[in-house]
Structure 1
Amino acid sequence: MLFNLPAHAYTPESVSRLPQSVTNILQRYKIPVSTISVYVVDLDTGQPVILLNENTPRNPASAIKILTTYAGLELLGPAYLWETRFYLDGVLSNGTLKGNLIFQGGGDPFLSRESFWHMLHTLQVRGLKYIEGDFIIDHSLFETENGSTGDFDGRPYHTYNVFPHAALLNFTAQDFFIIPQKNSVLVYADPPADNIIIRNNLKLASGKCWAPGTVTNMNVSPQGSQVIVEFTGNYPAACGEQVIQRSVIPPDQFVYGVFKALWEEMGGTINGHYRSGVVPASGKPFYTETSRPLTDVIYGINKYSNNVMARQLLLTIGQIKVGAPGSKAAGAQAIKQWLHDIGIHAPELILDNGSGLSRHERISAGTMGKLLEHAWHGPLQPEFLSSLPIAGRDGTMRKRLNGKIPVGNIRIKTGLLNDVRSMAGYVKSRNNRHFVIVILHNHTGIQNTTGTLIQDELLKWLYEK
């Protein structure tokens, strides 16, 4: 339940007004007050400071991640671990598996290339070297996402659009390195994938970086079980080393491509191909790898606004609290029930995918503010606070208010979409008072400089209280 805070004794007129400096910005850019919601409460007294349109449902963009992550902390526990398992579907003798190797995804949001390499190394140390059958991928723990990764904004290969997947590996992403040499340009991908072919047709160019006439293109062409990634154009040596991160192949194909490349690099072989399947009911794990704890995962989600990690967490909540397979609907159901159980009434809440990469997600500033109050007064406050970006120091706030407010006084999760600017978190004032602050702003073009000006002005004003 919510903690017993002092009653919110106030007159609406006294707290519905924005600071004059913020009002001046709205007027200068002709932005209606009706487009912004603000919730500011003194955490030490429980008294409201600003309540403006706080019950209006708005698109929160990535600020919704505070709901997904804090719900995860309470519903799963800060030490929650995901498990990734390997099964032998056949007989292992003298290093050779006469059968299939099954890779069962456990929904780990942060199964990195390095962790996967360690898993494969461990398999070989435990006696598996040669696989005569197939590589079977069991992703049945989560419901398969419908649609295309390009549905949101027409950019299917950008990593922020990656779909959740029970066997997610390295966010289904590769870093493509472009490095000028003496007379040529080197291009390679990390992690390597056996089914992703790079065609490098870049020409080394002189002159300034990205001067007129120097154009570099990256084209992705699926061809059967492989994907061709072609680089063309002129690359100026003055640009130095560049890295482009992209997701160019579906999750199962990516897992198999990376597996085959790393497995053979270690001296192993596989005669078959890959396919989807499920672990037999009688199957016993040959090797199990545990993930980093949930506290580390929410650090990555909130500090760096990682969308697919948030989406993995929502599906995990659904799978654990409602039942497998984990789904968006089950995750939303579990979180809404949890909000009800802790005394937060949120009839306006529409929880789409838990990451904020959505045009449908809706929440009010009041609901988000009450959630932050609950978290502040709860036993998991330290774990949650440590996940939030620090203004002027790290994450998505590392360049904000740098030098204007002492580092550590503002911990804020931001959100940004076209026509959406949001933030939610905590402020410690110059006089050591603590405040919760939520700003949800939906207005044409507000994602540009104007939205940042409004937010920063309100944060500076609150710091001086």
Structure 2
Amino acid sequence: MSQFLSRVAAAALALPLAFPAFAETVNQTLPPRVAQALKANKIENSALSVVMLPLNGNGSPTFVNADVSVNPASTMKLVTTYAALELLGPNHQWKTEFYADGPIENGTLNGNLYLKGGGDPKLNMEKLWLLLRDLRANGVDTVTGDLVLDRSHFVQPTLPVFDDDGNDKNKPFLVGPDALLVNLKALRFIARNDGGNVKVLVEPPIATVQIDNRIQALPKAKCPGWPDIRYNPIENGNGVTVVVTGKLPAGCSGQTYLSVLDHQRYAAGAVRAIWKELGGTILGEDRVAPVVKDAKMIARAYSPDLVEIIRDINKYSNNTMARQLFLSLGAEFRNEADADDSMAAQRVIRQWLAKKGLISPHLVIENGSGLSRAERVSARELASLLQAAWKSPYAAEFISSMPLAAVDGTMRKRLRNTGVAGKAHVKTGTLNTVRAIAGYSRDNDGNTWAVVAILNHPRPWGASSVLDQVLVSLYNRPANENTAQR
């Protein structure tokens, strides 16, 4: 992959940069309060890249460290979601299907039951339950054969495993993509002390997940905001035993989300758990294989439209869904020259950008989510993408997918009691050494700007307040600022 990216970057460098042209008046210094915030947090100015482009009205653009290659963290999701809107269409849907390779007689499927994944980023437990209800409505109670999982829709790339601090292995935000992604592969563990009797439950109740409850019950006391409970998953053959330790006062509870099963075991376990609750039986084993040629489709479910999917991705910075969408782009446009769907997605996105005149030599896309140490872009390139999106027929869908400052998503607690509250749709990005924002914000005259601010620094403590000050400074820009009409 690195050789492929190097060839693409070299080719792109030979092309003219298609950045927007502005009037001669251009700001090349940081707003004073942003510079003060950097100094207060002991961060040098060179660590921050800022671009602010006026999209309507009067205004002088700002370019500071605009052409430096930086890690954008989750603001990379804007590239993936905007590309998907234009290449797949806002009403694009994914499908998940059940097939049978034998006859159905008197409620019994005499053969194997196939579950074929189509890459749905939002196949949650409710949707799976409805799909299984549909299977029952089509006359199936008992399956004499195996539960066969078809996960062949994606040609998966081999990418490095991301782990920012070494302790994230079972965290849901690290779940990778899969053609048969069920419920984001998340397990919810609930610990509750009811009068000295401590119980630990798991949802969904997958049979291969066992609980070893070692929590110490304490007398009734004030319930802690973060109970002292630890979960240690241990492989046990075909399943996992989760050892739960800690202390919990009477009348208190706590919960956490973990990912402790691989995609195959989670999908099969979720199907069997729901099927059992519905009164159904599967007599055979679980295995992975493509749907056989003569199998008959007996139930199908569709995902929400793409516009809803990108809202979840951008509002809540969902890495798994972003990676799922990235591979879906690859699967849709894959050709014989593509080694995998990641390669196909990279190629298609670069071709799409080139057609728009957005040649981006700094752009490096690994998985499309920003959860990567390899992904790169410059602030100018990302701002140019935002400017192009502003003119897109799907601008409203794209902009509304981003968090609204002080209102929702990852921006819901930021910029409260400021003029920016409710006036900026901004995607955030966070890694150990990265803090970033990118999106659209209004100034105090009601004009809209494309804004990108990306900080790469070994110690980015306090950097979120620096980025917030970029938006506040834009909103409060002086009325007598030397502006130029675009």
Fold match (TM-score > 0.5): yes
Change (3 A) 1:410 1:244: same
- Are 1:317 and 1:331, in contact at CA under 8 Å, matched by a contact in 2? yes
Give 2:319's aligned amino acid. N
Cα distance in 2, alignment partners of residues 389 and 218 from structure 1: 32
Give 2:309's aligned amino acid. V
From 186, 190, 193, give the equivalent of 1:177: 190
From 68, 79, 92, give the equivalent of 2:80: 68
Gaps in structure 2 of 5+ consecutive residues = 1-17, 478-486
Report the Cα offset of residue 78 of structure 1: 0.2
Q: Which residue of 1 aligns with 2:276?
A: 264
Cα distance in 2, alignment partners of residues 245 and 380 from structure 1: 34
From 29, 35, 42, give the equivalent of 1:23: 35
Residue 243 in structure 1 maps to residue 255 in structure 2 = yes
Change (3 A) 1:331 1:46: farther
Cα distance in 2, alignment partners of residues 60 and 150 from structure 1: 15
Cα distance in 2, alignment partners of residues 85 and 161 from structure 1: 26
From 225, 239, 258, give the equivalent of 2:238: 225
Cα distance in 2, alignment partners of residues 96 and 60 from structure 1: 53
- Are 1:100 and 1:132, in contact at CA under 8 Å, matched by a contact in 2? yes
Cα distance in 2, alignment partners of residues 116 and 48 from structure 1: 52
Change (3 A) 1:279 1:414: same
Report the Cα offset of residue 148 of structure 1: 7.7
Give 1:31's aligned amino acid. I
Report the Cα offset of residue 153 of structure 1: 4.2
Report the Cα offset of residue 70 of structure 1: 0.6
Q: Which residue of 1 aligns with 2:455?
A: 441
- Are 1:63 and 1:356, in contact at CA under 8 Å, matched by a contact in 2? yes
Cα distance in 2, alignment partners of residues 463 and 335 from structure 1: 33
From 421, 426, 433, give the equivalent of 1:419: 433
Residue 394 in structure 1 maps to residue 405 in structure 2 = no
Cα distance in 2, alignment partners of residues 233 and 28 from structure 1: 40
Q: Which residue of 2 aligns with 1:42?
A: 54
Change (3 A) 1:135 1:293: same
More deviation, 145-154/200-209: 145-154
Report the Cα offset of residue 406 of structure 1: 5.3
User: For each residue in 1:344-380, what CA deviation from the matched residue of structure 2 results, as whole angstroms up to 9, or x when unmatched?
Assistant: 0101111011111101100111111011001111110
Q: Which residue of 1 aligns with 2:141?
A: 129
More deviation, 293-302/376-385: 376-385
Report the Cα offset of residue 149 of structure 1: 5.5
Report the Cα offset of residue 151 of structure 1: 4.8
Report the Cα offset of residue 7 of structure 1: 3.8
Report the Cα offset of residue 69 of structure 1: 0.5
More deviation, 166-175/86-95: 86-95
The SS at the match of 2:102 is: strand
Cα distance in 2, alignment partners of residues 440 and 150 from structure 1: 20
More deviation, 201-210/305-314: 201-210
The SS at the match of 2:103 is: strand
Report the Cα offset of residue 187 of structure 1: 1.5
Residue 203 in structure 1 maps to residue 216 in structure 2 = yes
Cα distance in 1, alignment partners of residues 176 and 108 from structure 2: 35
- Are 1:141 and 1:325, in contact at CA under 8 Å, matched by a contact in 2? no
Q: Which residue of 1 aligns with 2:347?
A: 333
Report the Cα offset of residue 180 of structure 1: 2.2
- Are 2:405 and 2:424, in contact at CA under 8 Å, matched by a contact in 1? yes
Q: Which residue of 1 aligns with 2:22?
A: 8
- Are 1:152 and 1:358, in contact at CA under 8 Å, matched by a contact in 2? no
Q: Which residue of 1 aligns with 2:482?
A: none
Cα distance in 2, alignment partners of residues 435 and 165 from structure 1: 37
Q: Which residue of 2 aligns with 1:189?
A: 202
Cα distance in 1, alignment partners of residues 140 and 42 from structure 2: 67
More deviation, 425-434/145-154: 145-154
Cα distance in 2, alignment partners of residues 144 and 268 from structure 1: 33
More deviation, 42-51/113-122: 42-51
The SS at the match of 2:243 is: strand
Residue 348 in structure 1 maps to residue 362 in structure 2 = yes
Q: Which residue of 1 aligns with 2:311?
A: 299
Give 1:397's aligned amino acid. M
Cα distance in 1, alignment partners of residues 323 and 423 from structure 2: 29
Give 2:181's aligned amino acid. L
- Are 2:433 and 2:456, in contact at CA under 8 Å, matched by a contact in 1? yes
- Are 1:7 and 1:46, in contact at CA under 8 Å, matched by a contact in 2? no
Report the Cα offset of residue 95 of structure 1: 0.9
More deviation, 191-200/130-139: 191-200
Change (3 A) 1:398 1:223: same
Cα distance in 2, alignment partners of residues 151 and 6 from structure 1: 37
Cα distance in 1, alignment partners of residues 359 and 311 from structure 2: 27
Cα distance in 2, alignment partners of residues 211 and 244 from structure 1: 13
Report the Cα offset of residue 258 of structure 1: 1.0
Report the Cα offset of residue 152 of structure 1: 5.1
- Are 1:62 and 1:357, in contact at CA under 8 Å, matched by a contact in 2? yes
Q: Which residue of 1 aligns with 2:484?
A: none
Give 1:318's aligned amino acid. G
User: For each residue in 1:49-106, what CA deviation from the matched residue of structure 2 results, as whole angstroms up to 9, or x when unmatched?
Assistant: 2101111110000011111101100000000000111110222111111111000000
- Are 1:390 and 1:410, in contact at CA under 8 Å, matched by a contact in 2? yes
Cα distance in 1, alignment partners of residues 253 and 233 from structure 2: 21
- Cα RMSD after superposing both structures: 2.1
TM-score (norm. length: structure 1):
0.93
The SS at the match of 1:371 is: helix
Number of residue pairs the alignment of both structures matches? 456
Cα distance in 2, alignment partners of residues 139 and 196 from structure 1: 22
Q: Which residue of 2 aligns with 1:377?
A: 391
Residue 105 in structure 1 maps to residue 91 in structure 2 = no
The SS at the match of 2:199 is: strand
Give 2:400's aligned amino acid. S
Report the Cα offset of residue 145 of structure 1: 5.0
- Are 1:202 and 1:234, in contact at CA under 8 Å, matched by a contact in 2? yes
Report the Cα offset of residue 279 of structure 1: 1.2
More deviation, 329-338/24-33: 24-33
Cα distance in 2, alignment partners of residues 119 and 325 from structure 1: 33
From 362, 367, 384, give the equivalent of 2:376: 362
Report the Cα offset of residue 440 of structure 1: 1.1
- Are 1:317 and 1:326, in contact at CA under 8 Å, matched by a contact in 2? no
Q: Which residue of 2 aligns with 1:158?
A: 171
Residue 216 in structure 1 maps to residue 222 in structure 2 = no
Give 1:333's aligned amino acid. R
